[in-house]
Amino acid sequence: MDTDAIRGGETMAAAAEGHRDSGAGGKPAGGGGRKHLSSVANNVLQQCSQTLDRSVDDLVADFELDLKTVAVDNYSRRLVEYCSLQALQSLTSPDLGDAIHEGSLSRFTFDMMLAWETPTPSDQQVTMESIAKEREDRKEPLGANEAVMGDETSLFYSDIMPLLVNEEPTVGEDAYVWFGSVFPLACDVVNARFTFEALTATTANRLHYPAYDKFLREMDKSFKFLQNLPAPTGVELAEDELILHIEGTAGTQRVVRHIGTSSWPGRLTLTNKALYFEASGKISYGPAFKVELSNTEMDQQVTPASTGPFGAPLFDKAIAFESLPEPLVLEFPEMTSSTRRDLWLTMIREVIFLHRFISVYNIESPIHKWEVHSRITLGVIRLHAAREMLRMSPPSPSSFLIFSLYDDLPKGDFVLEQLANNLKETSTITSFSASYVFKGLGKSQPIALSAEMAKEHDRDSSSHEKPSSSLGNTIDQVRDEAREVTVANAAIEGMKEEGVTDSLLVLVALPEYLWSFHVGVGKPHQQTGSSDPRDNLVG
């Protein structure tokens, strides 16, 4: 138990004393805020007070009424959590896009994460010392093997770093995950740690405010772009069918469909239910060829493929649908890598996994179904935003897509099972649901009526239902095991590159060779077999 926990009862008394000494807005007469809170935590409480048009005293009093015991763990942090949740309910009621565009939402929510990470003066002091040490380390001259701005540095890193002022506090992983658990805008709690790693890979695993603000703005831009896209030719999208990605238009890169030895360029559109390809005509696009991705009765098989002249497999930049009556091969041409193909392959699989998840775990409630669709759509929007920020070093798509991520990780099915159980315990769409956040991003994009009109439960919709601790523990366990597997695989690959495996084979075969030499009374020319001891290995 930390100092804050030990002093839980004392801070209650200190808070009561603060009530007597407070003036307007909950500040003590001295203007220094509550002594058991850090300066950033005091600042957040003041912002919450202004947002809710209530005094800090009233907020603290309501918070203490909810406490069951006097001595509690992390009193200061829990106070920050309570006030932040109250303010978020009011702050996110209007259109989220406007709040993001103005910058007020990003600044306020970033301060909430800072306050959660350093709720007490001692926490803030430790963070300040860590920042000072990092600043001192940056003054040291670079070594011979170090580079100032190497080829692997992303465009986002080089563009944004001049804006990252040294004195500006940064947010760590745990604070980011906490905020994702209460307000799933910047991340989803299920894959928040992977998203954080992808966003902070070039900034020493610390999130700076300019990067966070840019990320939210790019999310808003991506959502508006997808929202304004036209439906495929001759297709009327369902009420709850949303466009997730599109390419092959005038402003995007080419997509080519291969039929035998023929190639047809066209426009490719992915929604949360299907994939549509429209062959390009002289003036307009032809009728859309639809691939239904929501059909769980058919085993959907989408795999990487290679294409080339006359069917020769020369270019590994395509995907193939192997389970369709009519073969479908789509190529995503680019000069060097297969980044585009990998992106499309992952996103298509994500939609397939989405409907498989709903089917396998018997998600029947319209509310629960729409919540899953909203979480996946927000994940795609985050992916688009991150790729726009990190153009030179695009992150792995699976870091932002829940089902694709846990389909690849060892024991990932445990997380999905726990997620399904948690989802079924959710009774209504609350202010902190992914579906509510998704609805708030666009004024003209209504929530699916079937989900909004469903009144299956009587629980108060204003209550906040946090993810269970069992889900968090399962996620952490799977993540740790995935790291161990990654480290082991990296070590094996390194040994192969250095030729260590060949050396081990030689050492293993050497005793057998020496014994054969001894039995042959020093006549190695009588030995049969290869002169290479590695060839004498059995199995």
**What pLDDT tens digit does each residue of the chain (539 aa) get?**
444 444 444 443 444 333 333 333 333 333 457 888 999 999 999 999 999 999 999 999 999 887 765 456 788 999 999 999 999 988 776 678 888 988 889 999 999 999 999 999 887 777 777 766 765 665 544 443 333 333 344 444 445 544 554 568 899 999 999 999 999 999 999 999 999 999 999 888 999 999 999 999 999 999 999 999 999 999 999 988 999 999 999 888 999 999 877 889 999 999 999 999 999 988 889 999 999 999 988 888 899 998 877 667 778 899 999 888 887 899 999 888 899 999 999 999 999 999 999 999 999 999 899 999 999 999 999 999 999 999 888 899 999 999 999 998 988 899 999 999 988 887 677 777 898 888 888 755 555 545 554 444 434 434 445 555 677 788 888 887 777 776 666 666 665 555 555 555 555 565 665 566 555 544 444 444 444 544 444 44
150 inside domain: no
- Going by C-alpha positions, the residue among 288, 280, 325, 332 that lies closest to residue 306 is 332
What Rg value do the Cα atoms of the chain yield, rounded? Answer: 28
153 inside domain: no
Look up residue 525 and give its two tokens: 């020319």
Cα atoms in the 13 Å half-sphere on the side-chain side of 467: 26
73 inside domain: yes
Cα atoms in the 13 Å half-sphere on the side-chain side of 397: 21
155 inside domain: no
pTM for this predicted structure: 0.79
Residue 201 phi/psi, 5° resolution? Answer: -60, -30
* Rounded distance between C-alpha atoms, residue 205 and residue 214, angstroms: 17
457 inside domain: yes
Domain co-membership, 1 together with 111 = yes
Give the three-class secondary structure for 523: coil
Domain co-membership, 6 together with 89 = yes
Kindly state the DSSP code that residue 527 receives in the 8-state scheme: -
CA 225 to chain CA centroid, nearest Å: 20
Q: Which residue matches tokens 């995907």?
A: 319
471 inside domain: yes
Domain co-membership, 493 together with 505 = no
Kindly state the DSSP code that residue 264 receives in the 8-state scheme: E
Look up residue 84 and give its two tokens: 């932040």
* Rounded distance between C-alpha atoms, residue 417 and residue 355, angstroms: 14
Which residues are 330's β-sheet partners? 257, 319
Domain co-membership, 522 together with 482 = no
* Rounded distance between C-alpha atoms, residue 519 and residue 378, angstroms: 71
* Rounded distance between C-alpha atoms, residue 34 and residue 11, angstroms: 10
Strands (DSSP E) contained in 310-410 are 315-321, 328-331
159 inside domain: no
Domain co-membership, 253 together with 215 = no
Cα atoms in the 13 Å half-sphere on the side-chain side of 192: 25
Look up residue 111 and give its two tokens: 């301060």
Kindly state the DSSP code that residue 396 receives in the 8-state scheme: P
CA angle 498, 480, 124 (to 5 degrees): 110
Q: Tell me how many domains the chain contains.
A: 4
What's the N-to-C CA distance of the chain in angstroms? 55
Contact by Cβ (8 Å): 410, 482:
yes
* Confidence at residue 363, expressed as pLDDT on a 0 to 100 scale: 93
Q: The domain that contains 292 carries what CATH number?
A: 2.30.29.30
Domain co-membership, 194 together with 297 = no
Domain co-membership, 504 together with 473 = no
Domain co-membership, 356 together with 373 = no
Domain co-membership, 467 together with 397 = yes
Look up residue 133 and give its two tokens: 């040490």
Domain co-membership, 517 together with 488 = no
Domain boundaries, position 506: 499-536
* Confidence at residue 393, expressed as pLDDT on a 0 to 100 scale: 86
Domain co-membership, 333 together with 408 = no
User: According to the 3-state scheme, what is the secondary structure of 427-491?
Assistant: CCCCCCCHHHHHHHHCCCCCCCHHHHCCCCCCCCCCCCCCCCHHHHHHHHHHHHHHHHHHHHHHH
Domain co-membership, 491 together with 503 = no
Q: Which residue matches tokens 């306050």?
A: 115
Contact by Cβ (8 Å): 254, 264:
no
